[in-house]
Amino acid sequence: MSHFSQIKTQIRNLSSLQAALTDLGINWKSGPRAVRGYRGQTRNAEITIEQENGYDVGFSWNGKEYELVADLQYWQQDLSVEGFLKKVTQRYAYHTVLNETSRLGFQVAEQQQNEDGSIRLLVQRWSA
């Protein structure tokens, strides 16, 4: 029986996910790589985050989105699983918005970090 938990996300873009993890100061490795779990069990993932306890956290593509894959009994991050995913998802959304608006010819004119942790972006595009 597997000890791994798979937690669904709305994360679909690998480069935005990688940028989000980098922003948060999380050391990650690009895959496919094995995520280590209980009693030597492994799961393949496109992103692996090694933990000091020898058990990993990963993000694995399920055909629709990247799922968080981990043996939650050995979770060793600074935040809870929910807190971790909230932070990663916010930074992921930030990078997704920047990439998409840039693709459409917009540039960030103003960026504001609000007290509640949200980010306000003002984008603009000059037309001829």
- pLDDT tens-digit profile, the chain (128 residues): 568 999 999 999 999 999 999 999 999 999 899 999 988 899 999 999 999 999 999 999 999 999 999 998 999 988 999 999 999 999 999 999 999 999 989 998 898 988 988 889 898 988 76
CA distance 109 to 86: 26
pLDDT of residue 2: 66
pTM as predicted = 0.86
CA distance 97 to 108: 10
